[in-house]
Chains A and B, each alone.
Chain A
Amino acid sequence: MLGVPLSAPAREDVTEIMDRRNFLKNAVVFISAAGLFRRFLGNAEASPTNGPYNPAKHLYGMGIDIDKCIGCGLCVEACKTENNVPKEPFFCRTWVERYVIKKDGTVAVESIEAQKGKPKSRPEDGDIVRSFFVPKLCNQCENPPCVQVCPVGATFRTEDGVVLVDSKRCIGCRYCIQACPYGARYLHPETRTADKCTFCYHRVVKGLLPACVEVCPTQARIFGDLKSMASRLVRFTRINKLHVLKPHLNTEPKVYYADLDGEVR
């Protein structure tokens, strides 16, 4: 079970109209109950501002359409620009893998870098059976093994489904890097703390898209709110058969791949 947490579908058959008094009564009850409930959440995930943004109302995820990715690498470059990631190829919050599967069953994989200014085209090979690009990033798991192993609780899951790192408290033990099955984490060479994709949290809470989604030329990356009734991601989960990476590890990732090949690890 992928366990995609979708909100209840709209019911077209409801014709009952609530009168104003009932509505106000329900609203008062609901709001105070919700307030109580939030207090009881206790040590739960935090809210970014005390203003109108309510993290409990959102659950962010990403969809990736493999058949649309052209492997241009603009996403990798944009992420590095937006998030102060070192430009060298050894540290990536997101990267793109190229798979080449040949007739004899061999699978060759490589990471591609941003192609700007130095496009590398692959020599034609008549033995290729399938070949495609797979963007990878932190899966913002609902059951994250990295959060489970952090000894000081410096990494945590927010209520809206993003896993963040407190770089002021991270002691740099690198246990989370070992625990991540997807290789999404790295030790930032300057802050010497664990770092990883945050779905551009600083952008999404303001209604913007993550940088990688923003620059993708073919809309291979689809960002959205799983709790929203009308979101591109929810539609994506409706019309595609979804895969996640390493489902047997039960990390409940929130990056959903459409048309993912079985050879992808």
Chain B
Amino acid sequence: MNPELVQRLSELLREVTGYIYPNEVEIHWSILIVVYPYLTGLVAGAFILASLVQVFNVEEVQPTYRLALLTALAFLLIAPLPLQFHLAHPERSYEIFLTPQLGSAMAMFGFVYLWYLMAVLLLEMWFEYRRDLIVWSQAANSPIKWLYKALSLFSSDVSERALAFDRKAIKVITVIGIPSAFILHGYVGFIFGSVKANPWWSSVLIPIVFLMSAIVSGIALVIFLYMVITPLKGKIMDMKCLDKITSYLFYAVIVDFTLEALDFIHRLYESEESIKILSRLVTDKLFISLLVMQVLLGMVVPLAIMVAVKSLKFDAELRKLLYFTSVILIQLGIFATRWNVVIGGQLFSKSFRGLTTYKMEVAGLEGLVTAVIFLILPFLVLAILLKLLPAWETAGGEQDTPA
């Protein structure tokens, strides 16, 4: 056997407390499996925010509409990569399309992903950008000209009727898209929630909690991007827009917090057999990541900030600072949530008698560096997308963001 592997496992074995089954020394789902739900959560959350504009006609949020769509796409494109890097045989991953075992939630990944990418996101973006693509292709030089033409599928109709059709189509797609986004991220929650062998995961609430945290993180991300990109482009932020989105963020965080608190209270109250080892898990292994990062910094502090903003009158500059701080804390908190679910669920033994550790590699295919790269890559993709398909300048030079 590979001596390096033996060395690593021996070190892990020394850090085990209590009794674990022999095969449980090393945890199997690493940080990449933490990154994946985090990324798809951002996709679902950004899309839900975008759909607020279309389906619920929330005008104030309009300036972030295209940004949200592009964000969703950028993160969706990168999302399968951590999974591929995690598989022991990524060269066989196509089998999920050939012989999906329909009882498995994970088998749904390929189909749900493709459906969401093609039939929801790309379709909606096409209808949204179609007119601009036509106009830009007329103004641009080749080769960009041909790129725009191809992206618009060589369409040329910019009549009022066609544009009205576009807007209607977007509404329809969004209505389909919202449940699709729920499924895209909800099935990830179901992957964990349906594992009866693991009491930390096995819960009816997990898919719902995942979804709510996704919405929270998605909205927070769009706020973050809007607050970073707008000054970079030399423009002024629309405070009405920001205030409105942060409102939605506030409600989402309240719902998320309530659900997680409910899960917690329910566990303590029912006090099933696993409560002893799970308590040890939280106090010994997950103290920082759960109590400090997920709950305190990730939810309580942002909630307090947002309550303060809502009840006291702060000026725009202070509000911007507080919003920015909150969304960063929230992102850290949601990442910590994913960590606590994925890694936390593997740190205790199914014998309920022991705990193991997770020694994250720094380099290596499933190491910290790889994870950070996967977290940064979507922003690079987004930058490219923003260059190609600007989010605020529509064709004709008008700016969509009011001063």
Q: Residues of A at under 8 Å CB distance from B? A: 86-92, 95, 97, 107-111, 136, 145, 147-154, 169-175, 177-187, 189-190, 192-193, 249, 265
**Chain B, residue nearest A90 (CB):** B9
Interface size grouping (class) on chain B: 35 or more
Q: Is the CB–CB distance between A187 and B22 below 8 Å? A: no
Q: Using Cβ atoms and an 8 Å threshold, which residues of chain A touch B104?
A: 148-151, 175
Instruction: Check: B352 CB closer than 8 A to any chain A CB.
Output: yes
Q: Using Cβ atoms and an 8 Å threshold, which residues of chain A touch B88?
A: 170-174, 187, 192-193
For the complex formed, measure the closest distance between the CB of B36 and the CB atoms of chain A, giving whole angstroms. 12
Give the complex CA separation of A181 and B2 in angstroms.
28
Give the complex CA separation of A142 and B1 in angstroms.
33
Q: Is the CB–CB distance between B197 and A178 below 8 Å? A: yes
**Chain B, residue nearest A194 (CB):** B88
Top 4 A-B pairs, shortest CB-CB distance: A172-B88, A183-B21, A181-B197, A153-B101
Q: Using Cβ atoms and an 8 Å threshold, which residues of chain A touch B89?
A: 170-172, 192-193
Instruction: Check: B103 CB closer than 8 A to any chain A CB.
Output: yes
For the complex formed, measure the closest distance between the CB of B30 and the CB atoms of chain A, giving whole angstroms. 10
Q: Is the CB–CB distance between B22 and A90 below 8 Å? A: yes
Partner of B109, one of A109, A151, A172, A177: A151
Q: Using Cβ atoms and an 8 Å threshold, which residues of chain A touch B352?
A: 265
Q: Is the CB–CB distance between A183 and B351 below 8 Å? A: yes
**Chain B, residue nearest A178 (CB):** B195
What is the 8 Å Cβ interface bit string for chain B, positions 85-96, against chain A (1 contact, 0 not)?
011111011011
Q: Using Cβ atoms and an 8 Å threshold, which residues of chain A touch B2?
A: 189
Partner of B349, one of A177, A183, A186: A183
Q: Is the CB–CB distance between B29 and A90 below 8 Å? A: no
Give the complex CA separation of A215 and B195 in angstroms.
35
Q: Is the CB–CB distance between A185 and B23 below 8 Å? A: yes
Instruction: Check: B13 CB closer than 8 A to any chain A CB.
Output: yes
Q: Is the CB–CB distance between A178 and B198 below 8 Å? A: yes
Give the complex CA separation of A18 and B204 in angstroms.
58
Q: Is the CB–CB distance between B22 and A92 below 8 Å? A: yes
Q: Using Cβ atoms and an 8 Å threshold, which residues of chain A touch B29?
A: 174, 178
Q: Is the CB–CB distance between A89 and B28 below 8 Å? A: no
Q: Is the CB–CB distance between A92 and B19 below 8 Å? A: no
Partner of A173, one of B1, B87, B351, B353: B87
Given A153-B101, A181-B350, also A90-B26 (CB < 8 A): yes
For the complex formed, measure the closest distance between the CB of B398 and the CB atoms of chain A, giving whole angstroms. 48
**Chain B, residue nearest A177 (CB):** B28
Instruction: Check: B106 CB closer than 8 A to any chain A CB.
Output: yes
Instruction: Check: B107 CB closer than 8 A to any chain A CB.
Output: yes
Q: Is the CB–CB distance between A180 and B197 below 8 Å? A: yes
Q: Is the CB–CB distance between B106 and A145 below 8 Å? A: no
Give the complex CA separation of A109 and B352 in angstroms.
11
Q: Which residues of B (272-312) have their CB < 8 Å from a CB of A?
A: none
Instruction: Check: B60 CB closer than 8 A to any chain A CB.
Output: no
Instruction: Check: B25 CB closer than 8 A to any chain A CB.
Output: yes
Give 7 new A-B contacts, CB below 8 A, not counting A108-B19, A152-B96, A178-B345: A148-B103, A149-B195, A169-B95, A178-B198, A179-B195, A179-B197, A183-B350
Instruction: Check: B6 CB closer than 8 A to any chain A CB.
Output: yes
